[in-house]
Amino acid sequence: MVWTLVFAACATVGAVVAANTDPFPPGVEDPGVRSSAAPTETPEPSASSGPWLVRIDTRTYHDLFVGGRCAANWRIDVGIAVADGPIEGAGAAMRKSDLRCDEPTAQVQAERIDLRAVGTLRDGILRFSLEETGRSPAGSQELSGFLDTIPTLVLKMPARDGATASFDFERPDGGQGSVGAAGTVVLTAAVA
């Protein structure tokens, strides 16, 4: 289901880009126009052209002031369209492990968090963060610290196929506990 959403997002972005693109870019002659000038070479696409698939594998946790910890593993897949300037993207995080809490909890833990990517591409460097747009099951809570850590993470990496990044941090939870996340990020060129 996640890949369907990722590919649908990439296809939508591709359709929008194609609808707003000159079918005869510089260096490609319109067959209806005759010119005496020699054709010019078309530049190679830059390494920063998209769309991209971003995969993040992470472990998040929430150390509670009252004692104990809740933790879970997540896989995030986000499709993003990239051009110099702002980026657009959407995807989801799926919980890949059971919620592990030191103390029993009766709250329903989220299994899926829908996300959107916001950020920019400048000088071949992609900077983006993730924002929640929904979750399931409806009315569920997120107890593992995911929603307290991932939206505060600003990823910065070269916009090239196979680029990787990693993160590992902990911060106060706003009370007297703490939240943390550690993980890896892989950027892959999507097949258009």
Residue 9 sits in a domain of what CATH number? 2.40.160
In total, how many domains does the chain have?
A: 1
My answer on whether omega of the bond before 137 falls inside 30° of 0, hence cis, is yes
Position 21 in a domain = no
Spatial separation of the C-alpha atoms in residues 47 and 189, rounded to whole Å: 10
pLDDT in the model for residue 50: 65
pLDDT in the model for residue 3: 40
- The rounded Cα 6 to chain-centroid distance in angstroms is 10
Position 39 in a domain = no
Position 51 in a domain = yes
Position 97 in a domain = yes
Position 18 in a domain = no
Position 90 in a domain = yes
Position 37 in a domain = no
pLDDT in the model for residue 79: 94
Position 36 in a domain = no
- pLDDT (tens digit, 0 to 9) for every residue of the chain, 192 residues total? 444 434 444 444 344 334 444 444 444 444 444 433 333 333 333 444 568 899 999 999 999 887 789 999 999 999 998 777 788 899 999 999 999 999 888 889 999 999 999 999 888 898 999 999 999 999 899 999 999 998 888 999 998 999 999 999 999 988 888 999 999 999 998 875
